[in-house]
Structures are given as C-alpha cells and as structure tokens.
Amino acid sequence: MNAWTFPALRLLADGEFHSGEAMARALGVSRASVWNALEGLDAAGLELFRVRGRGYRLAATLDLLDRAAVLQALGLHASRFAVDVVERVESTNTLMLERAAEGTATGSVIAAEWQTQGRGRRGRPWHALPGAALTFSLLWRFEQGAGFLSGLSLAVGVAVTRALAALGVREAALKWPNDVLWRGRKLAGILIELQGDVLGPSAAVIGIGLNCRMPPALRARIDQPAADLASACGEAPARNHVLALVLIELAAVLDAFARGGFAPLREEWQRRHASQGKAVRITLPDGASASGIAEGVAEDGALLLATKAGRLRFHSGEVSLRGA
C-alpha cells in the first residue's frame, strides 16, 4: 500500500465499478498510480475485482470512518473528545502514548482504519482489516496514581457492554480481565497502558478493538473463536455511530471510576461475568495453574477463585483464564 491507497479505497467504498481513468482523474494521478495504489489489497484481505472495460470494484462495500460523522453522532458529548481519524498506523496505543507524553489533553481519541501492528494483551497481535473492525485508543487523565487504577480494564468492559446493549446486543459477557464475548466468542478486547507517577497524577491509554464485520480472510488469521457485530446485531451497524456510543459510555464510566474506583462498578461487572460460579483453570505465566470456582472479583478488580486450599486472588496481567 502507498499514499494513494486509502484515497482510492474511499472512491471504491460504495462497492460499484469505477474505471481507472475516472479514479485517476478524481485523484489527480496517472492510471498507473491508481494500479499501484490498489496493488496488494488482496494480500491485505480486501477482495478486489478487476474487469477490463469496467475498472475496479470491491467485493463488498466499505464502512469507512469519518471524523465529522463521529462528532455528529456524539452530539452534546462532542466537546469532551478530540477525535483524530487516521488511515494507517502501527498501533493507536503506541501513537497515543507518544502524544500523552507530550501533554495531549484528556479525552483525546485516535481511531484507525488499519493497524499494521495492533497489540492485544501480553503482546498478542490484534488482527483487523480496513472497514472490518473498530480500533481506537482513548487518553484519560486521573489525579490519582497507578495504584488507584486497579480494575480499570474491568470498568472499561462495563462501558463497552453498555454500548453494545444500546446497539441491541443482549448476550454480551465479560471475560476477566479484558475481553468482551458474545455467545462464548471474542467480540472485543481491551488493552490499557499507563503513564505517570505512583502517587499521581496518571494517564491511561485505553485501547479497544471491536470486531464489526469479519470476512473470511480475517477469520483465517485469528487463532481463537471470534464474533462480530454483524452477527450479534443481524447486520453491522455504522462504525462511526458505534464509536460515538462507546465513547459516550466510556466517559460516564470513567467519571464514576475517578470518583470511587472500580468498587461502584463491581456488581454490574459480575452480572456480565461469563465464568461467574463456574469451574475454571487459571494458568500462570510460569506454566503453573490453579483450578477452582470463579467467585467474581474483588473491589480492586482481582479475580477471586475458590480452591481446595481456600480463596485465592489473581491480578490482571498475571494469569489467563480458561474454562475447566
């Protein structure tokens, strides 16, 4: 892909045929430049038809992000956010961490059409194609230090499920510490990275990846059961609208978190807990494991596991959760 790829994709987003000549004229480049811009789309997972005499057409329409549409959907909440839509970036979290260090204000948002090196928890890759997922990072500043932010990823999960409920998704569940599931399959993931002093103030970069529409090329890259909004809602809702809904719910939850930490949100999180009261196995980074009954989470977000040896506590980043 090159600098003209995304401008060309915007011309093709309607799913109709566009001649190379018309595209070249619209972009102010040569037909050869159009051909070069579209080269490699198939490898990236976007199916493109090339028909002599008719031009180029994508196999499916593309729902592309638009800053003005996001701000319009935010309505009265728009003043709380500074939204930046970028076409291509290695990682929205990495870019936002850089901006946070430079003093970017709370409420700053970076939403990307395509992340080339999107990251999930414990360094796992997050796979997404242009127009198929919602990948964004939100910067939120707190007066308190990092210790106060324990349980923040769980609070963010509550905000995401509230937004999903507003979209009509009634079966969303939360998997400790940072996944959102639909019918047992991963619908969204959360990655939070912190900056600041131990005693405060601090800044949280909240990265969220939400599957909106999963073409076969994308499903083939994912090594775990995955779901998308197109399945959960019957059809994929407009991503600009989804982004606005999630941001609105995030602001409400983060305001509550700043006042009282995770404790006020604990009961709501547990109502959505996919493994509540079920037998689970916790696998530690060193390969050791513990089995028991998931009893929910503590007020600091630690997972509570009832075992033969008594109740054990596990903190985010130390363990992974699997059904027993």
Is 82:109 a contact under the CB 8 Å cutoff?
yes
Computed from CA positions of residues 179, 180, 186, 190, in that sequence, does the dihedral angle turn out positive or negative? Answer: negative
Is 259:265 a contact under the CB 8 Å cutoff?
no
Instruction: List the catalytic residue out of 186, 213, 239, 272.
Output: 186
Instruction: List the catalytic residue out of 31, 99, 121, 185.
Output: 121
308 is catalytic: no
Amino acid residing at 269: W
Instruction: List the catalytic residue out of 54, 278, 313, 322.
Output: 322
Amino acid residing at 210: L
CB atoms within 10 A of CB 81: 23
Annotate 230-276 with DSSP letters as a single string. HHHHSSPPPHHHHHHHHHHHHHHHHHHHHHHTTGGGHHHHHHTBTTT
How many whole angstroms separate alpha carbon 252 and alpha carbon 255? 5
322 is catalytic: yes
278 is catalytic: no
Q: Please give the positions annotated as active site.
A: 121, 186, 322
